[in-house]
A and B are shown apart, each in its own frame.
Chain A
């Protein structure tokens, strides 16, 4: 249906960028988050900063084999040492049980899933036992007295090697993941020699896939194309390397487990712990006020954190398990490498006519993590091909457990596709920005394969505006006009589109208005420093019309009552929990009016809320929030938490019960409608300068321009825009694993070998901006932002490099000086083909 002229004009007005904070008192304005003073004075306590009376210490023993079976453990000499308290092995770990998820579905235990300790380590560095003692020195001395007899088993590090005819399997059950009756199953897949015919030329073999989908006329798209490119590209395995290792401390009191650890999601981690330990959720208290980084590796903590809990129960004493940096490298999770190949057809103006995309994902030693599959959906959204096919296979290897890492699949898909777009623009003589513009999604863009004949669409997309404004701010045209070569220095500019999911719906909020007149938000969000744990409640305060100064946020301790909250992963928190805050604040206003009406007469509709009061419209009698809090306690029932609304989650009801009687207690569920799925978008721009004599290059400028909905908190948004761009950039400039395939062991174990970026590896004046156009499908209009900048960070650097060096220099990220120099000398890509971990 066509819009009327008035509707069109209104829509155009709504879809215009605006200064942050426009129309709001709190939203979009910077403020000081309540955790800052503790952080900056060193008083903030992370898991390892706790010391409990009588605390014991434990350290892990990690497998020194990539795959093996424990035959015998002789710990007698260790246990005989003074101060040694216990040795824990896989036999002490509860068996994985099926469990019920939030939707009441039974999730089958994954027989190939990772356990806290194992008798069949699937990778070098997998934890096989733990020793508890009075101090760490004693643990270490004891560990060196333990004899472990292991039977070596076949192992494979490289996914393609496993797919070769006669290639080894990482596990007796097979090497690839398939979707079976009860979920993911491991099965065997070998390709033919013919599939590998072009391996040496660096072309990804495309044997039988385990998953595929398509839409549109792919072959027709290639027939109609003015240019067809077919390129392979390898993305790296990259460890999360959170600065805080995943240390955990546990003790038991009155049958309850108290666990201190770092996690991305406070509320959601409790069910995970309960499941791993076969406990009820009400038997677990999680304390996690501060977490030193997650990036997808600590969505609900990590299974090893149950080790101190089990030891503590066994020894009846608090137990601290400190995880060292090297251990963190093995158990701290990593992004899977994706080997990708894409055939893309382009019309003369650069418009994509079809994409045929194949991925091989290195999924690691335990659960499936098919980032190749998730990358395909992102590709279909971000470049809007009219026809697309994806095929892929996810391969188990004897390498550390993978997990989501900022934009899982998104980073890889964008990194594989963008260099092909850059090449096409050069070949077609089309400006790089213009080529992105004709392919960029817009409005309620569709993506992915059809399901029941219908493709899914997004809530909104204003990426073209971000691209245009970004190009202007970056002075794209002026940069193109500058000399590209000065002496041995070559300059290049790059642009990339980027996006990732940006929000879920349907979670709960919880507010208490205390008899002292404070407005207390209960936040089940983890505190990773993205500040969503606090920021989303600004929307609640905005709705309630209260000054921020009378608001408190309770977070980081599940004994204090946490409403049903999303996991902080998939950039969903800002969107989901702003909605929940909006819902509960709206309900809170209603409850305030009801309390006023019950106390002062009239009906709730006669009252309004403002200035920390509820008062009769047009002036007259009213209650301060403090009085309302007191009245609510007197009224009891639904007003002070002795009863909870029926439509909130059971966890929220438990939280309401936990705070009952403390004031006006209001819980509500987000039921706001949404048409489409929520994504956020970024246009990324970069310039590099390459020294052709050494291959060394510097990123000289960078800009990320975001379409992320309403800006909640500019300071924290800026941190996400550039921090996560840099997380992506790290994949372009240096971060990766190095494995010796003969021994199946990592040789790069340290920061100086795995190379997370330093402050001098990025420009000192990186820039960011955001459109601040509200998403029309959510109250307040805020979308998530953590992951959308990641892919563009990486791809813009790669595109700038190929702008400086030409298309025939690299086929793999990261791009180091050695590749640039060797390939530049040879005039062709000089890299060992199709292997990520060199």
Chain B
């Protein structure tokens, strides 16, 4: 079969208007159905003609999945809420600025106007072999092209590799893990609410899936508990270009300080492993210590213990060490609970001052 890209194959477009209908359709069509939220990841697969679902279930008409609602304990963000809406939402900016910061660094303004939180957390990996249609493990084959002596793996994993060395590319996920968010998933067995980090599936469990969703399942909302509202936050994303690019790495932390010491902290990094990583050992080690440079240094070193670099990504070890250092030491830096604009803007302002 000769290869052609950039013409979308035909599919049936189903446009439900309620989450219930959506779920019904998904269950009916099972593995023949593809769920589309903002479409930024989905259309890419379809235009490459690598995925050819018979049925596309478009969630854009499901109003009940959109918007940010205050709950008794924090907020609930509908899975179809756009990243722009989250970044601009006064309540999120006031109490959960970490998430606002993170989503504002995603891709580009137009993508943030279209992309949804549900889509951002559920997107597939960006390994260039896998996305290029190479028949790798994750694509159902029996080889990893990135992890060969000459495989090009600058952007790949230093942790959690198991046949597949792709990394999770989301910017919002580490912020959600640090905020102890819960993901609300409708399954055929009823609603399940899982901790953010448990939503994701590593290659050791199922190499062809990136999250817990099975055919027929639907992520409907993400809840952020009030416990971390107004905490000390740190978010940083390192990428090549300042627009569009996925993270080489990102880090998020949420901390509660008691005087100068860290009373509670949650730290997560992404783009280091096939699954987003919460750094529980580091959290435990820094608890009760001063939120300062020394603790940061210690945290950074601890974070990278056990990292296994590939041929071209050894830089990720010092990068992770330094980002975690900053995320811990940065917790000691007073900081507004809402960000004025994006990190990049702040960074650029720093540069220009």
Which listed residue, B6, B9, B150, B352, touches A326 by the CB 8 Å rule? B6
Q: Is the CB of B2 within 8 A of A146?
A: yes
Q: Which of A180-188, A212-220, A672-680, A743-751 contacts B (4 or more CB under 8 A)?
A: A743-751
**A742 contact set on B, CB distance < 8 A:** 148, 150-151
Q: Please measure, in the bound complex, the distance between the C-alpha atom of A6 and the C-alpha atom of B52, giving whole angstroms.
A: 81
Query: A-facing mask of B127-160, CB < 8 A → 1, else 0?
Result: 0110010000000000001001011101000000
Chain B at the A interface: SS class = loop
Q: Is the CB of B351 within 8 A of A698?
A: yes
Q: Please measure, in the bound complex, the distance between the C-alpha atom of A319 and the C-alpha atom of B204, giving whole angstroms.
A: 51
Minimum CB distance partner of B342 in chain A: A760
Minimum CB distance partner of A816 in chain B: B240
List which B291-328 residues lie within 8 A (CB) of chain A: 312-316, 318-319, 322-323, 325-326
- Shortest distance in angstroms between A707's beta carbon and chain B's nearest beta carbon? 29
Q: Is the CB of A696 within 8 A of B238?
A: yes
**A657 contact set on B, CB distance < 8 A:** none
Q: Please measure, in the bound complex, the distance between the C-alpha atom of A107 and the C-alpha atom of B129, giving whole angstroms.
A: 43
Q: Is the CB of A693 within 8 A of B244?
A: no
**A759 contact set on B, CB distance < 8 A:** 243
Q: Does A740 contact B (CB under 8 A)?
A: yes
- Shortest distance in angstroms between A357's beta carbon and chain B's nearest beta carbon? 29
Query: B-facing mask of A735-763, CB < 8 A → 1, else 0?
Result: 00011111101011101110101111101
Query: A-facing mask of B1-13, CB < 8 A → 1, else 0?
Result: 1111111011000
Q: Does B73 contact A (CB under 8 A)?
A: no
Q: Does A825 contact B (CB under 8 A)?
A: yes
Q: Is the CB of A148 within 8 A of B7?
A: no
Minimum CB distance partner of A824 in chain B: B318
**Which among A739, A743, A830 has the highest number of chain B CB atoms within 10 Å?**
A743
**A761 contact set on B, CB distance < 8 A:** 241-243
Q: Which of A135-143, A521-529, A539-547 contacts B (4 or more CB under 8 A)?
A: A135-143
With A148-B2, A742-B150, A759-B243: A700-B248 Cβ-Cβ less than 8 Å? no
Q: Does A301 contact B (CB under 8 A)?
A: no
**B318 contact set on A, CB distance < 8 A:** 821-822, 825
Q: Please measure, in the bound complex, the distance between the C-alpha atom of A570 and the C-alpha atom of B319, giving whole angstroms.
A: 43
Which listed residue, B7, B128, B148, B241, touches A140 by the CB 8 Å rule? B7
Query: B-facing mask of A753-790, CB < 8 A → 1, else 0?
Result: 10101111101100000000000000000000000000
Bin chain B's interface residue count. 35 or more
Q: Is the CB of B7 within 8 A of A760?
A: no
Q: Does B348 contact A (CB under 8 A)?
A: yes
**B152 contact set on A, CB distance < 8 A:** 738-740, 747, 838
Q: Does A445 contact B (CB under 8 A)?
A: no
Q: Does A734 contact B (CB under 8 A)?
A: yes
Q: Is the CB of B1 within 8 A of A146?
A: yes
**B148 contact set on A, CB distance < 8 A:** 742
- Shortest distance in angstroms between A341's beta carbon and chain B's nearest beta carbon? 24
Q: Does A402 contact B (CB under 8 A)?
A: no
Q: Please measure, in the bound complex, the distance between the C-alpha atom of A760 and the C-alpha atom of B132, giving whole angstroms.
A: 27
Chain A at the B interface: SS class = mixed
**A145 contact set on B, CB distance < 8 A:** 1
**B352 contact set on A, CB distance < 8 A:** 700, 763
- Shortest distance in angstroms between B53's beta carbon and chain A's nearest beta carbon? 16
**B9 contact set on A, CB distance < 8 A:** 140-141
Q: Is the CB of B323 within 8 A of A755?
A: no
Q: Is the CB of B6 within 8 A of A324?
A: yes
- Shortest distance in angstroms between B170's beta carbon and chain A's nearest beta carbon? 15
Q: Is the CB of B348 within 8 A of A698?
A: yes
With A59-B7, A136-B7: A740-B145 Cβ-Cβ less than 8 Å? yes
Q: Is the CB of A324 within 8 A of B5?
A: yes
Q: Does A818 contact B (CB under 8 A)?
A: yes
**B325 contact set on A, CB distance < 8 A:** 693
Q: Does B110 contact A (CB under 8 A)?
A: no
Q: Please measure, in the bound complex, the distance between the C-alpha atom of A376 and the C-alpha atom of B5, giving whole angstroms.
A: 41
Q: Does B246 contact A (CB under 8 A)?
A: yes
- Shortest distance in angstroms between A338's beta carbon and chain B's nearest beta carbon? 21
Q: Is the CB of A694 within 8 A of B322?
A: yes
Q: Is the CB of B348 within 8 A of A760?
A: yes
- Shortest distance in angstroms between B245's beta carbon and chain A's nearest beta carbon? 6
Q: Please measure, in the bound complex, the distance between the C-alpha atom of A62 and the C-alpha atom of B2, giving whole angstroms.
A: 8
List which B232-262 residues lie within 8 A (CB) of chain A: 236, 238, 240-246, 248
Q: Is the CB of A741 within 8 A of B150?
A: yes
**A144 contact set on B, CB distance < 8 A:** 1-4, 49
Q: Is the CB of A838 within 8 A of B154?
A: yes
**A745 contact set on B, CB distance < 8 A:** 132
Q: Is the CB of A758 within 8 A of B2?
A: no
Q: Does B344 contact A (CB under 8 A)?
A: yes
Minimum CB distance partner of A837 in chain B: B152
Q: Is the CB of A747 within 8 A of B128?
A: yes
**A62 contact set on B, CB distance < 8 A:** 3
Q: Is the CB of A758 within 8 A of B5?
A: no
Minimum CB distance partner of B154 in chain A: A818
Q: Does A61 contact B (CB under 8 A)?
A: yes
Q: Is the CB of B243 within 8 A of A694?
A: no
Q: Is the CB of B3 within 8 A of A61?
A: yes
Which listed residue, B2, B129, B313, B347, touches A61 by the CB 8 Å rule? B2
Q: Please measure, in the bound complex, the distance between the C-alpha atom of A643 and the C-alpha atom of B241, giving whole angstroms.
A: 59
**B246 contact set on A, CB distance < 8 A:** 752
Q: Does A343 contact B (CB under 8 A)?
A: no
**A734 contact set on B, CB distance < 8 A:** 240-241
Q: Please measure, in the bound complex, the distance between the C-alpha atom of A140 and the C-alpha atom of B46, giving whole angstroms.
A: 13
Q: Please measure, in the bound complex, the distance between the C-alpha atom of A764 and the C-alpha atom of B351, giving whole angstroms.
A: 12
With A324-B6, A738-B128, A742-B150: A755-B351 Cβ-Cβ less than 8 Å? no
**B129 contact set on A, CB distance < 8 A:** 740, 747
Q: Is the CB of B4 within 8 A of A140?
A: yes
**B315 contact set on A, CB distance < 8 A:** 695, 817-819, 821-822, 825, 830
- Shortest distance in angstroms between A815's beta carbon and chain B's nearest beta carbon? 11
Q: Is the CB of A822 within 8 A of B314?
A: yes
**A689 contact set on B, CB distance < 8 A:** 351
**Which among A61, A751, A752 has the highest number of chain B CB atoms within 10 Å?**
A752
Q: Please measure, in the bound complex, the distance between the C-alpha atom of A700 and the C-alpha atom of B145, giving whole angstroms.
A: 38
Q: Does A348 contact B (CB under 8 A)?
A: no
List which B21-57 residues lie within 8 A (CB) of chain A: 49
**B151 contact set on A, CB distance < 8 A:** 740, 742
**A830 contact set on B, CB distance < 8 A:** 314-315
Query: B-facing mask of A123-150, CB < 8 A → 1, else 0?
Result: 0000001000000110111011111100
List which A794-838 residues lie within 8 A (CB) of chain B: 816-819, 821-822, 825, 830, 832, 838
Q: Is the CB of A752 within 8 A of B245?
A: yes
With A693-B322, A695-B315: A143-B245 Cβ-Cβ less than 8 Å? no
Q: Does A325 contact B (CB under 8 A)?
A: yes
**A816 contact set on B, CB distance < 8 A:** 240
Q: Please measure, in the bound complex, the distance between the C-alpha atom of A151 and the C-alpha atom of B343, giving whole angstroms.
A: 52
With A61-B2, A821-B319: A755-B238 Cβ-Cβ less than 8 Å? no
With A740-B152, A742-B148, A747-B152: A758-B128 Cβ-Cβ less than 8 Å? no
**A530 contact set on B, CB distance < 8 A:** none
Q: Please measure, in the bound complex, the distance between the C-alpha atom of A689 and the C-alpha atom of B145, giving whole angstroms.
A: 36
Q: Please measure, in the bound complex, the distance between the C-alpha atom of A758 and the C-alpha atom of B110, giving whole angstroms.
A: 14
Minimum CB distance partner of B311 in chain A: A832
Q: Please measure, in the bound complex, the distance between the C-alpha atom of A465 and the C-alpha atom of B318, giving whole angstroms.
A: 45
Q: Please measure, in the bound complex, the distance between the C-alpha atom of A693 and the C-alpha atom of B314, giving whole angstroms.
A: 14
**Which among B1, B6, B7, B128 has the highest number of chain A CB atoms within 10 Å?**
B7
Apart from A144-B1, A742-B151, A758-B243: 15 A-B pairs, beta carbons within 8 A? A129-B2, A140-B4, A694-B319, A695-B319, A698-B348, A740-B145, A742-B150, A747-B132, A749-B132, A753-B128, A758-B241, A763-B352, A764-B348, A830-B314, A838-B154
User: What are 15 inter-chain pairs, A to B, with CB distance below 8 A?
Assistant: A137-B7, A143-B3, A143-B4, A689-B351, A693-B325, A694-B323, A696-B238, A751-B244, A752-B245, A752-B246, A755-B241, A758-B243, A821-B315, A822-B315, A838-B152
Task: Give me the 7 closest cross-chain CB pairs, A-B, nearest first.
Answer: A140-B7, A760-B242, A324-B6, A693-B322, A758-B243, A818-B315, A822-B315
